[in-house]
Chain A
Amino acid sequence: MNKRSTTVWIGYGALLGLLLTIPLFTDEAYVFHILCLIGINIIFACSLNTILNIGELNLAHAAFMGIGAYASTLLVMRLSFSFWLAMPLAMVAAAIISLAIGFLTLRFKGAYFLLFTFLFAELVRILLSNFWIGLFGGIPGLTNIPRPSIQIPWLFHLEFSSNKDFYYLILVMVVITVFVMRRMDQSRLGMVFRAISQSETLTESIGISSMKFKILGCAIGCLFAGLAGSLYAHFVRIITPADFSIHAVLTPIAYVVVGGMGSVFGPVIGTSFLMILSHFFLREFGLYELLLYGVIIVLIIRFMPEGLISLPRVISPWFGKLLTRE
């Protein structure tokens, strides 16, 4: 292991240590509520980024989160599955449905793909709101979703009923997600995804089936969207079809773009930055909150088109200038 990667690992360790010790500094349920939502959104933004990596924008991505959320909830509430079984099953459900959808729609590119995913997002929303109301709960959705717990008889019993406990569960899931994304990014798989987004014709002409990899990329993305959905359902404990409509995908797109599209940590940074900004700081501005939020996003995109992740690169020439002037 070389020196640079040692520093990087120490950095990750310190960050993780900080995140683990947050409960020592504060006890406020609201803080943990926001932190959990940030975690869920990070997982979702990472999964969205996987699909952006193959060069497509999936407007139905929130619908796949919804599939995960509803699948997990229904398995737990109707079939009394354990959450720990329902969560992976929900992920697989989202991924399998995305395989079918991807097979049908990924042959279309750009705007056409966008339109088909828009269609699918609406289809899912309408299906959940108006059909099998006994099962899906219609427009009011499903309520009183139980929080998960771990129970090993006579050994220990862990309830994730408080936001603080749930925070740890989400932290573990975020770490797993980021780890998988990083592995993927560094492996041949990530390389092929980037290749497809840069030139699909060349990828085909060197014998790589771009269709196969695009379907695979979508399925991996939707797997984690399913995870985000399942966590969301059991954290918030109420899910409605509107939570997973087309609108629900727009803010996460901003997270990914502001953080830095295509990089592993971009979505993590973007989500954390924008959500902390809006929940902890911009609240003070009342009416002007959303206005300021928009201005900040525009400024970041104007001055850091590659996202917050490029901040060190953007400001380093500035420092250079300051130093030479002195």
Chain B
Amino acid sequence: MILLEVKNLTKQFGGLLAVNRLDFSINQGEIIGLIGPNGAGKTTVFNMITGTFRPTLGEVIFMGEEIGRLKPNQIAQLGVVRSFQLTNLFGDMTAIQNVILGSHQKSGVGLWGSLWNTKSTRRKEMECERGAIRTLEFMGLVEHQKMLAKNLAHGQQRRLEVAVALAAKPKVLLLDEPLQGMNHEEVRDMLNRIAEIRREGKTILLVEHNMRAVTSICDRVIVLNFGEKIDEGSPQKVMQNPEVIEAYLGVEE
């Protein structure tokens, strides 16, 4: 079943064609890798799917509904949640507060109830906190729950970002270079966790530079270069494609 589909997606910044007539679809439960050299338009695709940019042309269809013209928060409420390429957390809040905020929209904690501190709200808030602790456990951060997000190590911050996104109960999780700046150990750990998220039935779209990571966990990869799709298929097949090798490594003279 197709969960997310982009059709003829195009973004033009002035004279620059950042993404050109891109088509792809993601099935329920898949992990798709979106790869390509720097400036290929991967993050622009992310920004269009999540509503940060409006597509110049084309459409984004999520569960049969056009979402390309919605606002970021509306898209997130439908179940398309992203992480960011550059670490983006509520730095002056603790890890657990970050995750609680992630789950706020789906938690049913009403503002008036919270303001008057009613019994039913307190119960919901407790539930919310338990949920946050489960999410932190899942991402291996439970022992750091009381630390301020800005004081966590880089690898932990990146895991916390995924935890925040997960707390928003996504149907499709979009991860923008979650492995960036990590060492080998952390990369392996993160990949295991992403595989685990997928086993829980989530669909994942991953932008990543780390080739080994992409080939090890993705079902399919889509290769972008200069805003256009140059190949799509299983990681093994794509890596054989001379055009892909050329885009990544350059041509042998």
Contacts and interface: CB of A to CB of B under 8 A. Distances in A.
Contacts, number: 85
A310 interface: no
B192 interface: no
Interface in A175-209: 183-184, 187-189, 191-192, 194-195, 198-199, 201-209
Given A204-B72, A206-B102, A199 B164 contact: no
A207 B117 contact: no
B4 to A, nearest CB: 16
Given A183-B117, A188-B125, A210-B73, A205 B89 contact: no
Top 6 nearest A-B pairs by Cβ distance?
A: A207-B76, A207-B105, A188-B114, A187-B114, A204-B72, A207-B77
Chain A interface secondary structure, helix, strand, loop or mixed? Answer: helix
Contacts of A208: 73, 101, 104-105
A195 B101 contact: yes
A184 B116 CA distance: 9
**Among B50, B90, B125, B167: residue with most chain A CB under 10 A:** B90
A174 B115 CA distance: 18
**Among B97, B104, B117, B168: residue with most chain A CB under 10 A:** B104
A188 B99 CA distance: 13
A305 to B, nearest CB: 14
B90 A194 contact: yes
A206 B72 CA distance: 9
Interface residues of A, number: 21
Given A189-B111, A191-B97, A209-B73, A202 B104 contact: no
Given A184-B115, A189-B115, A209-B73, A195 B90 contact: yes
Contacts of A209: 71, 73-74
Interface in B67-125: 71-74, 76-77, 81-82, 84, 88-93, 97, 100-102, 104-106, 109, 111, 114-117, 125
B165 interface: yes
27 contacts: A187-B115, A188-B114, A188-B125, A189-B111, A189-B114, A191-B97, A194-B90, A195-B101, A199-B90, A199-B91, A201-B52, A201-B88, A202-B90, A204-B71, A205-B50, A205-B72, A206-B76, A206-B81, A206-B102, A206-B168, A207-B73, A207-B77, A207-B81, A207-B104, A208-B101, A208-B105, A209-B73
Contacts of B167: 206
Nearest to B78: A207
Interface in B29-74: 50, 52, 71-74
Contacts of B116: 183
B93 A188 contact: no
Contacts of A206: 76, 81, 101-102, 104-105, 164-165, 167-168
A202 B84 CA distance: 8
Contacts of A187: 111, 114-115, 117
Given A188-B111, A204-B72, 9 more contacts: A183-B116, A188-B114, A194-B93, A195-B93, A202-B88, A207-B76, A207-B77, A207-B105, A208-B73
